[in-house]
Amino acid sequence: MNIYEEIELQECPYCQGPGILEEEEGWCWYVMCMDCGAKTGECGYKSEEESAKAARSAAHLWNIGKVIRSDRCE
């Protein structure tokens, strides 16, 4: 199973840019906007099994708009 193919991401709620699913050092997943850098909180996991669940949680947060905007451009 390829988690990247399974998960569908909406466009960024701030700029309509493309969201990408990212894994951090083998302990959490989050989704980040490639254009403005807005991102979801990190969804941590402790096992291979939890990993897929955490990836789906991160995607869900993104898709419902629970996204934190970075202050980079202000």
Binding site for Zn ion (CB under 5 A): 12, 14-15, 17, 33, 35-36, 38
To Zn ion, the closest distance from the beta carbon of 40 in angstroms equals 12
Q: Which residues contact 32 (CB under 8 A, 6 or more apart)?
A: 19, 20, 22, 38, 39, 40
Provide the minimum distance between the beta carbon of 17 and Zn ion in the complex, in angstroms, as a whole number.
4
Amino acid present at 71:
D
Compare residues 17 and 44 and give the one whose CB is closer to Zn ion: 17
Of 14 and 22, which has the nearer Cβ to Zn ion?
A: 14
Question: Alpha carbon of 12 to those of 18, 48, 64: distances in Å?
Answer: 6, 28, 10
Which of 27, 68 has the CB closer to Zn ion? 68
